[in-house]
Chain A
């Protein structure tokens, strides 16, 4: 920056401002001042005809002045430039949030504004301690204060009590036009027209330079340190995960919609694939069974119904597993560009699988109807019987999601293993149908009981091995909690391996 010349905009050309009213912003915190600038836009004698240019210029000037003050108070640049322009009507001092030095800084700036620049009004958006304002008002007795109340801290009242209505006006940001009218009346000026504050009749309309309303998120400080999540215990990690899912639920919903519906847009049959897919799977098993390849043993319900319910449960489990395991690898590009809670992706994938499951379960119920079989009334407890299966699928998926980033080989190997696990789980046959070593494996396979429970509940109204189901469920829950925490702790390191 050149302190000797007039302020220049970013192109290097001097900003055209002669003959225009000017709002001077001397502020380290312009965000807060922006709505006020908008509100005062139409004020006679202080009209900001080119709002964008003026605000921007003032912002740069403000920063320049601040720097100069901090360094050696060489105000020549800003002052001489301003003297060339018309008399400055408004000075806006946005308070620095740096409470320790704000008083000094504000006093310097206000002194500068009033002495050098002939400013006759100070507008102070209030976001912090009142002592800065009080100090400012004491320092510059001629200054009048317009207090823009942003918070609910009653600072306007404090200042009104202290300096009276002649020197202080308190307005709010809620109704910018009304505030502008009040300020105009306070100054004994008039507004050219009431809706001036929001008029869009020149190149810098409000749409072009949106006014920013102070947001508490602007003051939130985040600190990144190496391995800063490792110290999180299970409770803290899960609290953090659920907290970010709650705050980003809109994102999860948007992503769910994108990934659930968008792929069908490029297919002729569209969303009806959700219904066709489970029906085709059922037909496939029926063909296998009718040709005598598969002997499901004696079952009291028609085989299509039996196999359809079994495969619906298995498909859901595998769907949850597969969807979760590609969480990181399938979103590599996004993960490398934008920082957002990656757990959202897991929950989005789960939501997608649940929606798919609901549709295929609807098909299952329709098939039950065709065979005139009514599900047992105990089916109302089905969601509870399904939760352990979902937890198990997610836990396995999360572990593989992490491994898949650093060891693709293992992921590929596991894909083959899962095809085998289908036969080690009584999905298309009954639990008692196997013999020998296979029977032992099936008996010890926790998935056996997690798949059996929901099927038995629908068809027979009971869980056939309640104790084993309880043990398998507990195992699923523990795995889920552990895998979730490990994912939360490790994903920041894993993302960089996606490069």
Chain B
């Protein structure tokens, strides 16, 4: 029977998104240009084509273009916490932006259920001359929260961000840590169905990171999470499933420990090769997971 159930869940019928899923990414690709001028030239052509009602050439690579995300498919279930790991330039952030709807896909499709909050960098949309309080309302509105909801959540946000007397001072007077806390607090308070986090936990001091982790665990019963991180510790602590990306493709998708072990193995191999090639010492294996 379990097989039947799984089949039933997987088939999805003619629905865009199976009922238990929050995100479905199907064959999604995203391309970029290698040089800025080339990017602008292609953009000009695309704009011209759209002006006369012709579709921009999204599905094929033109001169100087490459696939930053290449034929990626996966789903995220309700309340699932998925990590994405991979070396720099493997397409993690681009994938996250595409799920957030910041970039349209060039191939494939993405279906997303409910309210999505993407915290791709800390303090986005803060205006330096406005006070912390004013920025909470502004940032909340940018993230899709209505005023009454922000008012409800105001004490919680202020509490988490530990603004104290700075609440009514301009944000330009804040330390980067305070800005970071404020940005994170507002994003999480939106109570999204899906939270997209990109390396955000990499900023801030240890205490802030701990608070972020605690917060993420508190909301885990209500919110699905896709976390992009370089550090395996972050992923291991929060996620139960991990996608490993390389050159825009998902090369492994499975339980956290399995994927991280394979990833660590691969990183060690690269480190070994580097050490052999350059004659330097190998890195300490334990460093890898606890940086």
Instruction: Say if A and B assemble together.
Output: yes
Task: Tell me the A residues contacting B by CB distance below 8 Å.
Answer: 1, 9-12, 25, 28-31, 34, 52, 55-56, 58-60, 63, 69-73, 96-101, 104-105, 207-210, 212, 215, 217-228, 230, 248, 250-251, 254-255, 258, 262-263, 265-266, 333-340, 402-403, 405-407, 486, 489-490, 492-497, 499
The reply to whether A58 and B221 form a contact with Cβ atoms under 8 Å apart is: yes
A-B contact pairs, 23 of them (CB 8 A): A1-B240, A10-B237, A11-B213, A25-B221, A28-B78, A58-B221, A69-B2, A70-B5, A98-B9, A101-B5, A208-B218, A218-B113, A218-B115, A218-B193, A222-B111, A224-B110, A226-B104, A226-B105, A227-B58, A406-B43, A490-B47, A492-B103, A494-B43
The residue in A100, A263, A339 that gathers the most chain B C-beta atoms within 10 A of its C-beta is: A339
In the docked arrangement, what's the CA distance between A172 and B118, Å? 33
In the docked arrangement, what's the CA distance between A459 and B58, Å? 55
In the docked arrangement, what's the CA distance between A222 and B111, Å? 6
- B 107-132 to A, binary, CB cutoff 8 A, 1 in contact else 0: 11111111110101100110101100
- B 133-153 to A, binary, CB cutoff 8 A, 1 in contact else 0: 010011001111011000011
- B 83-116 to A, binary, CB cutoff 8 A, 1 in contact else 0: 0000000000000011011111111111111111
Which 7 pairs, one residue from A and one from B, show the smallest C-beta to C-beta distance?
A: A59-B221, A98-B19, A339-B101, A406-B43, A218-B114, A497-B43, A337-B124
The residue in B17, B111, B144 that gathers the most chain A C-beta atoms within 10 A of its C-beta is: B144
Question: How many whole Å from B77's CB to the nearest CB in chain A?
Answer: 8
Please give, as numbers and ranges, the residues of chain A lying within 8 Å of B147 by CB-CB distance.
250
Question: How many whole Å from B206's CB to the nearest CB in chain A?
Answer: 14
Contacts A225-B109, A230-B50, A490-B46 given; indicate if A59 touches B8 (C-beta within 8 A).
no
The reply to whether B5 and A495 form a contact with Cβ atoms under 8 Å apart is: no
Question: How many whole Å from A411's CB to the nearest CB in chain B?
Answer: 12
Seed contacts A218-B114, A339-B101; 7 additional CB < 8 Å A-B pairs = A69-B2, A70-B6, A71-B2, A251-B142, A337-B120, A403-B47, A495-B103
A interface, over-half SS: helix
Please give, as numbers and ranges, the residues of chain A lying within 8 Å of B78 by CB-CB distance.
28-29
In the docked arrangement, what's the CA distance between A98 and B18, Å? 8
Contacts A215-B115, A495-B102 given; indicate if A340 touches B142 (C-beta within 8 A).
yes
Task: Tell me the B residues contacting A by CB distance below 8 Å.
Answer: 1-2, 5-6, 8-9, 13, 16-20, 32, 39-41, 43-44, 46-47, 50-51, 53, 55-56, 58-59, 77-80, 97-98, 100-116, 118, 120-121, 124-125, 127, 129-130, 134, 137-138, 141-144, 146-147, 152-153, 155-156, 159, 170, 189, 191, 193, 213, 216-222, 237-238, 240, 255
Please give, as numbers and ranges, the residues of chain A lying within 8 Å of B106 by CB-CB distance.
226
Contacts A70-B2, A262-B127 given; indicate if A30 touches B142 (C-beta within 8 A).
no
Please give, as numbers and ranges, the residues of chain A lying within 8 Å of B237 by CB-CB distance.
10-12
Please give, as numbers and ranges, the residues of chain B lying within 8 Å of A11 by CB-CB distance.
213, 217, 237
The reply to whether A250 and B58 form a contact with Cβ atoms under 8 Å apart is: no
Contacts A338-B125, A486-B51 given; indicate if A223 touches B111 (C-beta within 8 A).
yes
The reply to whether A105 and B124 form a contact with Cβ atoms under 8 Å apart is: no
Question: How many whole Å from A407's CB to the nearest CB in chain B?
Answer: 6
Please give, as numbers and ranges, the residues of chain A lying within 8 Å of B142 by CB-CB distance.
251, 254-255, 334, 338, 340
The residue in B40, B43, B106, B124 that gathers the most chain A C-beta atoms within 10 A of its C-beta is: B43
Contacts A104-B5, A222-B111, A262-B130 given; indicate if A207 touches B159 (C-beta within 8 A).
yes
Contacts A218-B193, A222-B112, A405-B43 given; indicate if A486 touches B50 (C-beta within 8 A).
yes
The reply to whether B102 and A493 form a contact with Cβ atoms under 8 Å apart is: no
In the docked arrangement, what's the CA distance between A243 and B102, Å? 19
Contacts A9-B217, A221-B17, A499-B32 given; indicate if A338 touches B50 (C-beta within 8 A).
no
Option from A10, A220, A230, A333 in Cβ contact (under 8 Å) with B213:
A10
Please give, as numbers and ranges, the residues of chain A lying within 8 Å of B32 by CB-CB distance.
496, 499
